[in-house]
Each structure stands twice: as C-alpha cells, then as structure tokens.
Structure 1
Amino acid sequence: MEKPLLVTDFLDRARRHYADQEAVLATTGERYTYGELGERVDGFAAALQDRGVEKGDRVAVLDPNTHYHLEAAYAAFECGAIHTPLNYRLVPDDFEYILNDAGVKAVYADYDYADKIEEIRDDVPTELFVTNDVEKVDGDWESFDALVEEGGEHERPEMHEDEIVTINYTSGTTGDPKGVCRTNRCETIHAYLTCIHKEITDDDVYYWTLPMFHVNGWGHIYAVTGMGARHVCTRGVDVEHIFDSITNEDVSYLCAAPTVLKRLIDHYEEHDVQSRGANPVRVATAGAAPPEATIRGIEDNLGWHLIHTYGATETGPLITTSDARRLYDADSDSRFAVKKKQGIGYLGTEVRVVDDDGNDVPRDGQTIGEIVVRGNQVMDGYWEKPEATEEAFNQRVEGYYHMGDLAAMDEHGMLIIQDRKKDIIISGGENISSIELEDTLFDHPAVGDVAVIPAPSDEWGEVPKAFVVPASGDPNDPGTTEKELIDFCRERIATYKVPKAVEFVKALPKTATGKVQKYELREREWEDEDRMVGEG
C-alpha cells in the first residue's frame, strides 16, 4: 500500500509514543516533554492561521538553535506553509533579498537578530513579525509565547508528499542566493537515511552545534524528533558547554565542522574535563575531511566515534558516508585513510564521478571527474529559477544533480574530493561566494581588479584571500591598506565572508580572452598542501 510521506509525521509519532518523555532542554533551562512541545506547536500554528497564514505561504525563521526554531518550523508544517529558515550570520540586505524572493508572509526572529529584520521590514512583503522577547526588540513585534498561550484550534490542510515544504537558501557561486525547494517526500526520505546512517535511536541525546537553519539541521529537526530522542538546544558553539552537557545530560550524538572538532580537542587537552557521560559519543562532520590529526584526536583521545559524510544543500544534504566499517580495521591507524574519504553513497543514492563527456571515470583513486548524484533526497529544484534548475541537473549527465566538486573514486566506490569546480570557499563549514566578495571589493575606489580564492587555514580549513590590483597600478603604493579593505568589507557583508588576507599584485593571471586564471593563484597558495581544497 502507499502512504503519503509528510514531515508532520515526525512530531505526530513522537507525541503518540513519547508524550511523557523529555523532548527538549531549552537554552533557558526549561524542559519540555513531547506532549508539551506538541501543545506549543499547536498554539503557534493556530496563531499563524488566525493571522492569515495559509497553505503554501512562506514562514521564515531566524533563530539560533533554540526550541523556538523547532516550534516555529513544525507550526508552519501544521499549517501547510513552507518553512524558510534564515542564516543568522547574514546582513539586512541579504534578508531583504530572501524575504522578497520567497514572498515571505510571516517571520519569527530571535531577539538577538530581530533588529536585522526591523531595518528592512518596510521593504519586504512580510505581514507578521514575531519574536521571543518583545522587550529586547525595537518596533512592532508580537510575542511568540503570548501567541502560544492564546490557545485556539488550527486546521491541518490536506497535504501531498510532492508539495514543497521548505526552502533553504544557499550562497551559490554566482549572483544572488538561490532557494532550494525540498518536498515532503525528499525531506522524509532524507530523515530516514539520516536515522540509518547516523544510527539515531530513541535513547539518543542530540546536542545542537550544527545550525538548524543549515538544510534544516541536516534533517535532524525531523530525524531526532521522529525517533523520540532528546534535543539539547544551544545559542551557538561553546566548547565548555558541550563538555558540560556531555557529562550532565549524557549527550550521545552531535555534529561539528572540522574547526569545531579541533576546538573540542584543544579544550579537552587544556582542561581537566570528562569526554563522555553515561553514553558513548559519536560525532558527525561533513564536506572536506578533517586532518588526520583531528580524526585521531577525536577517536583516540576523546574516545568518540567519528562519522564523515558529504553532501550539499541541494542534496538533502547528505549523500555519502565514510562510516563503512567492513572496509577498515577499527583497531588500526589505517582506518584514518578511509575516514578521510568522502565515502560511499547512502542507501538508495546513486553517486558517480564523470568526465567531461559524462562517462564514469575509472575507480582507480586517481582519475578526476565531477561528482553527480541521483537520489530521493535530492531537491525538487530552485525556487522560481527554472533555468538554473535545468542547468544543475543536466550539465554533463542528464537527470543527475551536478555537485561542482571534482573527485576521484577508489576501488570500493568511495569518493575522494580533490578540488572544486565552482568558485565557492568553505570556511569552518560556511559557504562563501568568491564572486560576492569580489563585487564588494570592486566598490572600493582604490581597487582596480581583484580575484578571491580559498587560502589554507589550520583553524578554518580554508579562508578567503583577495589578490588586489590597485587602481594606481602600483602594488607598492596601492592608495589603501589591507586593514582598510578588510574593514570596508566588514561594513557591507556578513563577518564570516570577510577576507582574512589581502595581497596587492601588479596583475592577475588571465587567459587570452581576459578570464582570470584562479587556478594559478590557488596552485601558488596551496603549493605546500596535499590538495587544493580546505579541510574545514
């Protein structure tokens, strides 16, 4: 028989079987059972419908990893609305673009970030503005808790598994951000796969280091909830709090970018702390592999089990895992060579590496091609961008999403990423568009030409570095300074996107047609590294 796959099923299941069990430890110390969490979701859903939110409307959420984010997301689902999580590291201009592009009707914003929305509220179509502490926010905002306490009933509309349920905006590599549309079906299947490959069970205690806005917390807002496990909410990454929670709350599972893993190891080595409570600990990381020293520190020193995965916003995000235990000896250091690879495809996921003609490259661990993928967790398409969608699925091979990453594949079919096709920088787990950064620097009168590339970083894996040709033409007398240009960027874009270094040069390497050859700059910058892609 066939049963529609709907994201509302996850909370329904938890309420049905775990109503009296703790669901959430809030950042403010309150503890909510799944029954109580469900009642709060019902209350907010009723308030949204009372204020005109209907099926298909977009409801944006701007929040760190608090229980309000979970409640706002599930309340939107209950209304048949489309959950639109926002990256809290963005600046007001970014939010203005996204709220207009998605036609957002209602927004919930945490008090720490509401001012960024308040600044642009007259320039967006949004009608309802909600926050969790009206006393800390300027402007006309409604209280989340007051809306929950209004009570009332909401009506869950008829929903279908092929309808869009969330739009996640990705930095992209060119132009404005694109809204990645994900349906009930692909979110549900991705959550199922996450439960399987991350071994999530009802007695897990999940600690939120991974931003909930980031592809819906890699699907953990669904998976952890649906399994009836516990959420430990946070307001950001605090390594001391992580270790306290591991011992006091018996945290068993968390996700962390490689840079966070390194901070955890450093804290453990510098302080007399326990690395586990009553539960064994596993940690997932994604993208470019952490350095071997980091993997060794996590597993040998802290005694945690590391799971390395890979994907993109457009793919769920997760499509591969290196946690293939039959392919390595768990008691041998040789396992690190396997764990550093991006891994094999998730269940039901077809991952290939293809050449320019769309043919599979040899599985020799050396021949490089582009990663393409087909699976039920892959996006439906980009919001109102049919041409970008068509291109993403049909560049080399028809019907596959093209990742833009260049990789080799070993004899077991494990991915080994070598470089990036797209001009994207991944620093500490955050995507940074080199194009956006170049456009920002071009606005400075002393900049004549500029190219931005990823530079290696021990802390962040890679960071943006700008090569600037001064308008004066003289790199020894550029008419500005490195600090001035960095400050210029900091005033205009999100802090994490700001270049960490600026080098003044006489000219940029270019082709005969005038295209900048960034590959030459990357080769020079990464000549002492094993590969031209950051490990963070």
Structure 2
Amino acid sequence: MEVPLLVTDFLDRARKYYGDEEAVVAATGERFTYDELGDRADRLSAALQERGIEKGDRVAVLDPNTHYHLEAAYGIVQLGAIHTPLNYRLTPEDYEYMLNDAGADAVIADYEYAERIEAVRDDVPTETFITNDADALEEGDGEWEDFEALVADADPDYERPEMSEDEVITINYTSGTTGDPKGVMRTHRTESLHAQLVTIHHEISDDDVYLWTLPMFHVNGWGHIYAITGMGAKHVCTRGVDAETIFRRIVDEDVSFLCCAPTVLSLLEEYREGHDAPTTGDAPMRVTAAGAAPPESIIETVEEEFGWHFRQLYGATETGPLIGTSATRRLIDEESDERFALKKRQGIAPLGTELAVVDDDGNDVPWDDETIGEILVRGNQVMEGYWRKPEETEEAFTEKREGWFHTGDLAVVNDDGMIAIRDRKKDIIVSGGENISTIELEDALFDHPDVADVAVIPAPSERWGETPKAFVVPANGDSENPPVAEDDLTAFTRERLAGYKVVHRVEFVDELPKTATGKIQKYELREREWEEEEAMVGQG
C-alpha cells in the first residue's frame, strides 16, 4: 500500500492521540495542549486563507524559538503553502533579497525583528504582514496585523487542499557562503522521512521533553518541529540562548533532550564554572551538537560533570540536515580513553542514507583514517533542489558522481566507517553553528580605503569553534604602522554585515602568500593559524 507522506500528518497524529497532553511550554510561561496548539494552527490557516494565501504561496516566518513559530509552521503547511523560515540574525538587506527571491506573499515576524522587515517592505512583493505584538512596533510603521487578534477572530474551519508528497512545502535559505543565499527546496516526502530519521537516531519518544535552543529556522529546527510533535512529546520554547535560563528550564520542566551548536555547550560550561547550578531534573539528559565539533574537553565536561549523554551530528541545509551521527553505541566503548575523540567525529550515515568519501575521480577512499576525500551523500532526506536555480542544482549533484549531493567537505574514514572532517573544499567558516563566507568578509573589508589587500580564514576559537580572522595589507604598505586600527575594521564590518559575521581578529601583514598567477595561498595562512591544534576547521 502506498500512502503519501505529508508533513501535516505529524500534528494530525498528535491531536488524535495526545490531544489532552501538554504540547508546548511557551517562552512566556503559557502552556498549550496539542488540542490547543492544533486549534490555534487551524485558526491561523483560516486567517491566511481569508487573506488570499493558497497552496504553493510562500509565507516567510521570522521568529526565535517561540510557540508562534510552531503555530505558524503548521498553519502554513496545512494550506499547502510553503513555509519559508528566515534566520533572525540577518540584516534588512538580506531579508530584502530572500523575500524577493522567494516571492513571499506574507510575512509573520516576531516583534523584536519586525523592524528589519519594515525597513524593506516597500521593496518586496509581500502584501500581508503579521506580528505577535503590533503595539511594540514604532509609530509610523506600515500596517501590521496582530497575531493574537487574528487568531482570536478567525474561525477554526479552513479548507485543506489535496497535497502530494512530491510537492515543495518548505524553503530554507543557505547562509550565502558562495554568493547570494540559495533557497533549498524540501518536499513533504523529504521533510517527513528526515523527521522519521531524527526520531530514530535521536531516540525520541512520547515522554520526551525537548528544550529549544537550536533555531527553528535551521532546516526547520533539524526536523524537530515535526519529530517532537509527531511523537506527542513536549516542546519547551525559549527566546534566545542564556545559560541560566537553560539550566533552570532543564530542572523546572524535567527536560530530557536538546540540540545545539557547540558554542552553547561552551556557554554552559563557562556558566557552571561560577555557579553551582543543577544540570538535570528528574529525567536523564542527552544532547546532540552540530557544526564544528566541540573540543574533547567540553564533551568530557558534558558527560562527566553535567551527566548528559553526548552525540555529534553532521549535516547541511541541503540534506535536511542529517548526513552522519556519532550516536553509535556499539562502535564507541564507553570505558575507552578514546570515547570522547570518537564522539566528536561526524560519524556514520543514518538509515536509508548512502554516505561516501571519494577522491577526485569519484572513487571511495580507503578506511585508513588518513586518506582525505570529499563527502558525498544521497538519501530520501536530501533536497529537491535550489529554488529557481537549476544550474546550481545540477552542479551540486553531478561533479564527481551523478545523483549524489556534493557537500564540499573533506574528510577521512576510520576502520569502522566513522567519518571525521579535516578541511573544507570551499572557504567556509563555521562559527557557533553558523556558516560565514570568507569571500563576503573580504569584499566588505576591501571597501575600506585603508585596506590594500586582505585574506580571511577560519581561526580556532574555544568558544565558537571557529572565528573569522583577517590578514590585512594596509594601504600604506607598513604593517607596523597601519593607517587604520583593528577595532576600526571590526566596526566597519559590523556596519555592513550581520552580527555573527563580524571580524574580531585582524593581523596586519606586509604581503599575502600568493602563487605565481597572483592567487592567495590561504592554506599557508590556515596551517600557521592551526599549527597548535589537533586538527583544522574547528575540530578542536
């Protein structure tokens, strides 16, 4: 029997079997059952339908990890409209590009970020603007409808259209590491199967209590918008990442599971050094981290001092993101001195996924933990393609092996098949779980009149895994007495880029290492910067 896989199935199941059970603990302290969550989603669906939103329309959501984002996601997909979550750390110019590229018909924005949309609303095609606190916006702003008033006034009845599992239901924008951000198209099928993989490999059950520190905009929160809901587990929402709040929520709500960037673990470790905060409630805790792997010392702290079970996840926006996981209990001896080194590896492929590390000819590299190759992946969770970018889509799936997604990440494989990233094919910095383009930073710095030449590379950071560092040739050619200060260049990038992309480390040099044809040899800079580390690009 063939039954279509639809993302609407997850909330439908929760409402059917867990309607009276608590579904969401809001950041404000409000609590909603699955019946109540479903009713609010229905009312939003009806309100959007009244405003002309139809199947296939794009609805952008700019919101931190609040209950509004959960309600918006389901309110959108129930109409067959395309949920388009936006990174809330970007600039108005970024949103202008994305809203135009997606052709967004409506925007649902948290009050804290609505002003960034307001700044470009005359330059985007969007007609419907909704916020969760219209009174918080400045006088003179354009018309914004209030989310709560809209839901309260709407009838819960709406018309759910026929949907196919092969239809696009979400667009997630990449971080623009190689030019403009690309919209990653994900279908009902890719979203559903990825959520099922997450459920299996993260061992999610209906008595789990999940704490949201991972942004919901990140590939739909790594699928947890669907997985936690579908299993009838509980969402605990937050507005941001604050160590005191995280520990308090874990204890007060008996949290059992969270996912995060490694930098969150660093923040928690730092907080615990000065505070005797309990790390668990009544439930045993597990945590999954992704991005640049944290140092082994942090993993040891998490497991030995916090009492949490740690696992590493590897992925990309284009793959759902799950590509690999170190959640391999039989391949890691918990009594071994090597266990922390193994747990920080990107691991093995999940069910239904083929993972290969290949040489330049597309052949598998040996499992010797020494030979480096590019990571390729194919599976049901891999994207449909890039929104309105057929050439980029074809390139991503054809360079070395036809039909495999090419990640651009370079790795080795140990004799158990567990991969470990060693470098990146493209110059991407992963800082606190966010991708940062060195090209974008270099372009920004080149605009400064006192910069003659510049190269940006990832530098090791205890807190962020990696952080941007700029090697700058000053316009006067004198690295000892440059006409501009390091702090001035930091401020210069802050004015032009999203906050997490700012260059905080600058080294003035007389010249940059270059080939005979003038190409900057960044590998020389990287090797020098990482020579005291065990491995490059945030591997600790």
**So what's the TM-score if we normalise by structure 2?**
0.98
Q: Find the counterpart in structure 1 of residue 77 from structure 2.
A: 77
- CA positional deviation for 1:331: 3.0
- CA positional deviation for 1:509: 1.4
Whether the 8 Å CA contact 2:291–2:432 is kept in 1: the answer is no
- CA positional deviation for 1:245: 1.2
**Residues 1:346 and 2:346 aligned together:** no
Q: Between 471-480 and 436-445, report the one with greater CA deviation.
A: 471-480
Q: Find the counterpart in structure 1 of residue 43 from structure 2.
A: 43
Give a deviation string over 1:29-62, Cα, whole Å, max 9, x none: 1100000000000011111110011111100000
Q: Find the counterpart in structure 1 of residue 149 from structure 2.
A: 146
Whether the 8 Å CA contact 1:284–1:307 is kept in 2: the answer is yes
Taking only the aligned residue pairs, the percentage that are identical comes to 68
CA distance in 2, matches of 1:438, 1:490: 13
Q: Find the counterpart in structure 2 of residue 197 from structure 1.
A: 201
- Equivalent of 1:172 in 143, 154, 176: 176
Q: Counterpart of 1:176 in 2: which secondary structure?
A: coil
Q: Find the counterpart in structure 2 of residue 127 from structure 1.
A: 127
Q: Find the counterpart in structure 1 of residue 428 from structure 2.
A: 424
**Residues 1:451 and 2:467 aligned together:** no
Q: Find the counterpart in structure 2 of residue 58 from structure 1.
A: 58
Whether the 8 Å CA contact 2:366–2:413 is kept in 1: the answer is yes
CA distance in 2, matches of 1:335, 1:469: 44
Give a deviation string over 1:168-204, Cα, whole Å, max 9, x none: 0111322111111111100000000000000000000
| 1:430-469 to 2 correspondences below 5 Å | 430-469=434-473
**Residues 1:11 and 2:29 aligned together:** no
- Equivalent of 1:408 in 409, 412, 416: 412
Whether the 8 Å CA contact 1:343–1:416 is kept in 2: the answer is yes
Q: Counterpart of 2:6 in 1: which secondary structure?
A: coil
Give a deviation string over 1:261-310, Cα, whole Å, max 9, x none: 12212323422222211110000011332111111101111111001110
Give a deviation string over 1:36-89, Cα, whole Å, max 9, x none: 000000011111110011111100000000000011111110111100000010
- CA positional deviation for 1:151: 2.1
- CA positional deviation for 1:445: 1.3
Give a deviation string over 1:207-247, Cα, whole Å, max 9, x none: 00000011110000000000000000000011111111111
| 1:25-36 to 2 correspondences below 5 Å | 25-36=25-36
CA distance in 2, matches of 1:304, 1:208: 16
Question: Runs of at least 4 residues of structure 1 off by over 4 A?
Answer: none
Question: Unpaired runs of 5+ in structure 2?
Answer: none
CA distance in 2, matches of 1:419, 1:280: 35
Whether the 8 Å CA contact 1:131–1:142 is kept in 2: the answer is yes
- CA positional deviation for 1:258: 1.4
- Equivalent of 2:498 in 494, 497, 507: 494
Give a deviation string over 1:428-457, Cα, whole Å, max 9, x none: 111111111111111111112111100111
Q: Counterpart of 1:284 in 2: which secondary structure?
A: strand
CA distance in 1, matches of 2:97, 2:270: 39
**Residues 1:526 and 2:525 aligned together:** no
Whether the 8 Å CA contact 1:258–1:535 is kept in 2: the answer is no
CA distance in 2, matches of 1:119, 1:289: 37
- CA positional deviation for 1:392: 0.8
Aligned length: 536
CA distance in 2, matches of 1:401, 1:385: 15
Q: Counterpart of 2:330 in 1: which secondary structure?
A: helix
Whether the 8 Å CA contact 2:292–2:431 is kept in 1: the answer is no
**Residues 1:249 and 2:253 aligned together:** yes
Letter in 2 for 1:143: D
- Equivalent of 1:483 in 482, 487, 500: 487
Q: Find the counterpart in structure 1 of residue 365 from structure 2.
A: 361
- CA positional deviation for 1:370: 0.4
**Residues 1:330 and 2:325 aligned together:** no
Q: Find the counterpart in structure 1 of residue 192 from structure 2.
A: 188
Whether the 8 Å CA contact 1:349–1:373 is kept in 2: the answer is yes
CA distance in 2, matches of 1:529, 1:331: 25
Q: RMSD between aligned alpha carbons?
A: 1.1
| 1:180-329 to 2 correspondences below 5 Å | 180-329=184-333
CA distance in 1, matches of 2:518, 2:386: 31
- CA positional deviation for 1:341: 1.2
CA distance in 2, matches of 1:474, 1:274: 53
Give a deviation string over 1:353-403, Cα, whole Å, max 9, x none: 000011100011110000000110011111111111111111111111111
- Equivalent of 1:159 in 150, 157, 163: 163
Letter in 2 for 1:292: E
CA distance in 2, matches of 1:468, 1:328: 44
